[in-house]
Structure formats: C-alpha cells, structure tokens
C-alpha cells in the first residue's frame, strides 16, 4: 500500500473461484459417497484426483498450484515473502501481486495496465476468476484512494461496528483508553478470581479473536492489551473478560480511526526505513518478564509493529531494552530483505532505530564492552552489534515522550496514550 500510494499505481483485485478444487493431490485419498448420492456398489468410495475443502493438505497443494501458474507467466516470488509475486514490465516498472489464499491484490503503474490485462487473461484461461476491478474492499478492510494527495487509507470501521454490535455493549459508558493501569494478569483486590464457565470462556475467545484481527491490521493502539489478554485464552477469569469488553468498547467508540499511507512529506525517491524500539522492565507481575515493543516505518508510513513478552527474565532496564532492540533490528533486516528483492540494490543507506535508553545504546555500540552486569546476556542478542559496527544500523536517541514504541509495552493513560496514538493512526 505504501509503494502503491507513493508511485500513484493502480490497485486492482481479483479472486479465484473454488480455489482448492484446482489443486492436484500427491497422496491417494478416498472419500465416502455423500448421503443422497450413490453410484455403484453399496460400499464403493471415490478416489480424489484434486483437493476438496476440508482436507488438511488442500491449502498447501493450492499454493503450489498457483505458484506454478505465476512462474509460467513470467512472475517470481520473493524469498523473504513467498506470497508476493513481481515482474519487471516492458516499460521497466514493477507489477506487484499480493496473494492471500485465493485473493489477489495487484499494484501496477498506469502505463503497464495493458500488460497486466494480458497477464490476467492468461490466468483466467487456466482457472476461473472473479475480476473485482479497482480495489475498494479486501478482507473486511475498506481501501480509499486520494489521487491528488497520493494517499491510501485503510479502515476497518464496518468490521469493528459489526463485531461490537454482536456483543451488545453498553453505549452509555465511554472509555478513553483500551486498558486501565491495573495489571491484566491480576484482578483488582475486591474482585473474585473464579474462572469463567464454558459458555463465557467461548465468548472470551471469540472477542479476543475479533480484536486480534483489528490489532494486527489497522489498530496498533490496542496491540499491547490484546497481546496480554490473548495469553489467557485457555483459562480466562472474570476480570480478564471485563478487560476484553473494555477494549471492545474503546474500539467501537474509535471505529473511525484509520491507517494512512503516503501522507509523509518525504520524497518518493528516498527509501527510508526506520524503527522505534522500547521495553518495559518486568512488566508481568507473575513471571517478572519484560515486554518488548517495536514500530517499523517505511518512508514515513507505518508498515509493521509488535508487542511481545520477552522469553527470559532480565535483571535490569538496560538489559530489557537491549533485548527489545535486538528484536527490532531483526524486523528491520527482514524489511530490508523485502525491499531489496523488490527494488534491487537501489535501497541504500543505514536503517535508523530510535532508542530512549542511553545505557542500552552504549552497550550496543561498543562491541568490546563487557561487565559484570552484561556478560551473562546470551550471544543471540549480541548480533545487533555487528550490524551497528558495519553501519547498516544507526542508533539515534529520542526523548521518552517521543518514543512511539512505548504504546506497545504498557497500558499508557490519558494524554500520554492519546499523544502517541494520534501520531501513529488517523481519525477519518
């Protein structure tokens, strides 16, 4: 979306009809004849030549099938992202195709539309497709173009309103943040710790599944609390259901918030990749593990984020920040691989990571620094020093109030939460 907005490309969409039924099977699989339909002897079964919906290997076999099709018409897929296909057009520009099971979104320059139409005919001759024209909706996400400003806006407002209506939330009470400052692992002192009944456990799991989709696509402002609450899917308690309902209420009241691509004033010729990295020390009061947060920005557009509990207990804020920094560098390296595969060696320059802990920066920038406080850190977290030393990664200090990744590490309150939220998402 970021590339499409900046290059002012056309954005098309199509999907494959009954996609899995096109996939050939490698194994011998037999099925019973369905009730009401029978041919031959009473115990006769059918051998499948192609996949059916419901077979566990059907998605994999379909992916292999469509991959061969794309290769045959001149496309190649990325090593870093196998479901993204591209080719250089006759004019030297890129045609990009994103495949999600049987849905495809195509980004193509207006001068190459005729070439894409020719490729689309080749696809339709092989498999039946639905040509949906210009992309306006994809996977419950509304896509809005502003050609004059070269922006693309993604909105899940319709999705949020639908799921919120299904839970009958109290519309009279408003909330300004998705979570309270209370520890989500522990109930308030006055609350009971009884586990939810089977009925309410299913309700809790349903809410979290719905929230997770929004948190991963257009609503980074709820990523932290959703990540935390998802850790109780198998054995949720009453206070966690209340917390989930609060998130749903907040999401409902801010359903009009969107993600915008292309709004930055950075020149389209500059491929700028950066990240914000932060951690909250010993945030989990039960396991005493810290929380890592990361926000990845490409040309001013937010393209990735995560809120993640660290896998080990650390003994200082510096160590927690150092581990979070390593995780952020790994995300940047993957993004760089993606962009390098797409644009070739045109992607140059150091990637910047914004960090608000100066002790962590010193530890990362000095590969010969060893002390009693740091020599126990596992070698897997020291790899970032090599990338900093080679100038592939540049660390820059940012004051805490401008640390955008802070929203992924803890339950921020009031003005602090709203300040960061309004910097990373937009009001429609």
233 lies in the same domain as 275: no
Query: What is the C-alpha to C-alpha distance for residues 264 and 266, in angstroms, rounded to an integer?
Result: 5
Q: Mean pLDDT, to the nearest integer, of 304-327? A: 91
| pLDDT score recorded for residue 418 | 93
- Nearest CA among 370, 420, 421, 361 for reference residue 388: 361
pLDDT higher than 60, residue 382: yes
% of the chain beyond a pLDDT of 90: 68
Question: Is beta strand 273-280 parallel, antiparallel or unpaired with respect to 351-355?
Answer: parallel
121 lies in the same domain as 182: no
Task: Encode 29-50: b = buried (16+ Cβ within 10 Å), e = exposed.
Answer: eeeeeeeeeeeeeeeeeeeeee
Residue 378 counted as domain residue:
yes
Residue showing tokens 């300004």: 176
179 lies in the same domain as 119: no
Q: Mean pLDDT, to the nearest integer, of 115-134? A: 95
Q: Which pLDDT band, with edges at 50, 70 and 90, does 59 fall under?
A: very high
CB of 418 within 8 A of CB of 317?
Answer: no
CATH number reported for the structural domain that contains residue 29 in this entry:
3.30.310
289 lies in the same domain as 354: yes
Reported as a single tens digit per residue, the pLDDT across 27-39 is: 999 999 888 888 8
Q: Which domain holds residue 377?
A: 269-410
281 lies in the same domain as 248: no
> Following CA atoms 51, 56, 58, 61 in sequence, which dihedral angle do they give, to the nearest 10 degrees?
-120
| pLDDT score recorded for residue 208 | 95
Residue 117 counted as domain residue:
yes
Residue 264 counted as domain residue:
no
**pLDDT greater at residue 17 or residue 180:** 17
275 lies in the same domain as 363: yes
397 lies in the same domain as 294: yes
Q: Mean pLDDT, to the nearest integer, of 69-84? A: 96
Domain-ending residue, one of 207, 228, 253: 253
Query: Which token pair is 87?
Result: 């080719």
Query: What is the C-alpha to C-alpha distance for residues 279 and 220, in angstroms, rounded to an integer?
Result: 16
Q: Mean pLDDT, to the nearest integer, of 144-165? A: 93
**For residue 98, which phi and psi values (nearest 5 degrees)?**
-105, 125
232 lies in the same domain as 132: no
Which residues on adjacent β-strands are paired with residue 276? Answer: 295, 354
188 lies in the same domain as 290: no
107 lies in the same domain as 190: no
CATH number reported for the structural domain that contains residue 292 in this entry:
3.30.420.10
| pLDDT score recorded for residue 154 | 96
Task: Lowest mean pLDDT of 36-45, 97-106, 138-147, name the range.
Answer: 36-45
Residue 420 counted as domain residue:
no
E strand or H helix at 200, and its extent?
Answer: helix 198-217
| pLDDT score recorded for residue 101 | 92
Number of compact structural domains in the chain: 3
Q: Mean pLDDT, to the nearest integer, of 277-296? A: 90
239 lies in the same domain as 314: no
Residue 145 counted as domain residue:
no
Residue 263 counted as domain residue:
no
pLDDT higher than 70, residue 348: no
8 Cβ contact partners less than 8 Å away, ≥ 6 residues apart = 110, 147, 150
Task: Lowest mean pLDDT of 100-104, 284-288, 396-400, 406-410, name the range.
Answer: 284-288
Reported as a single tens digit per residue, the pLDDT across 242-280 is: 999 999 999 999 999 999 998 764 444 445 899 999 999
pTM above 0.85, yes or no: yes
Domain-ending residue, one of 137, 172, 202: 137
Residue 393 counted as domain residue:
yes
Task: Lowest mean pLDDT of 17-26, 185-194, 321-330, name the range.
Answer: 185-194
18 lies in the same domain as 108: yes
| pLDDT score recorded for residue 131 | 95
| pLDDT score recorded for residue 378 | 62
181 Cβ contact partners less than 8 Å away, ≥ 6 residues apart = 411, 413
Residue 142 counted as domain residue:
no
9 Cβ contact partners less than 8 Å away, ≥ 6 residues apart = 3, 107, 108, 109, 110
Reported as a single tens digit per residue, the pLDDT across 178-206 is: 998 766 666 665 565 678 899 999 999 99
Q: Three-state SS across 345-386?
A: HHCCCCEEEEECCHHHHHHHHCCCCCCCCCCCCCHHHCHHHH
Reported as a single tens digit per residue, the pLDDT across 393-417 is: 999 999 999 999 999 999 998 899 9
């Amino acid at each position: 979306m970021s590339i499409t907005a900046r290059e002012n490309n056309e954005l098309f969409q199509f999907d494959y009809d009954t996609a899995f039924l096109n996939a050939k099977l490698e194994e011998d699989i037999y099925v019973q004849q369905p009730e009401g339909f029978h041919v031959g002897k009473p115990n006769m079964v059918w051998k499948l030549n192609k996949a059916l919906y419901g077979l566990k290997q059907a998605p994999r076999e379909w992916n292999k099938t469509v991959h061969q099709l794309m290769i045959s018409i001149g496309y190649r897929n990325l090593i870093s992202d196998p479901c993204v296909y591209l080719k250089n057009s006759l004019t030297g520009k890129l045609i990009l195709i994103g495949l999600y099971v049987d849905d495809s979104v195509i980004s193509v320059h207006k001068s190459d539309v005729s070439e894409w139409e020719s490729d689309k005919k080749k696809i339709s001759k092989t498999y039946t497709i639905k040509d949906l024209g210009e992309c306006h909706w994809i996977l419950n996400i509304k896509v809005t173009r502003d050609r004059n400003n070269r922006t693309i806006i993604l909105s899940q407002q319709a999705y949020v309103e639908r799921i919120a209506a299904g839970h009958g939330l109290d519309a009279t009470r408003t909330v300004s943040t998705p979570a309270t400052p209370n520890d989500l692992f522990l109930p308030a002192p006055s609350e009971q710790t009884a586990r939810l009944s089977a009925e309410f456990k299913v309700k809790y799991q349903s809410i979290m599944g719905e929230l997770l989709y929004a948190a991963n696509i257009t609503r980074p402002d709820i990523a932290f609390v959703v990540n935390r609450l998802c850790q109780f899917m198998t054995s949720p308690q009453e206070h966690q259901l209340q917390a989930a309902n609060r998130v749903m209420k907040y999401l409902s009241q801010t359903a009009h918030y969107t993600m915008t691509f292309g709004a930055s004033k950075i020149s389209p010729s500059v491929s700028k990749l950066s990240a914000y990295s932060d951690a909250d020390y010993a945030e989990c009061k039960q396991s005493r593990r810290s929380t890592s947060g990361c926000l990845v920005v490409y040309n001013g557009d937010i393209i990735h984020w995560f809120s993640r509990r660290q896998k080990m207990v650390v003994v200082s804020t510096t160590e927690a920040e150092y581990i979070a920094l390593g995780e952020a560098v790994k995300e940047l390296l993957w993004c760089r691989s993606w962009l390098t595969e797409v644009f070739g060696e045109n992607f140059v320059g150091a990637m910047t990571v914004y960090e608000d802990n100066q002790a962590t920066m010193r530890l990362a920038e000095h590969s010969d620094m060893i002390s009693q406080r740091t020599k126990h850190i596992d070698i897997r977290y020291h790899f970032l020093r090599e990338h900093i030393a080679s100038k592939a990664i540049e660390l820059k200090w940012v004051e805490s109030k401008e640390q955008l990744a802070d929203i992924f590490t803890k339950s921020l309150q009031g003005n602090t939460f709203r300040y960061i939220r309004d910097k990373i998402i937009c009001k429609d």
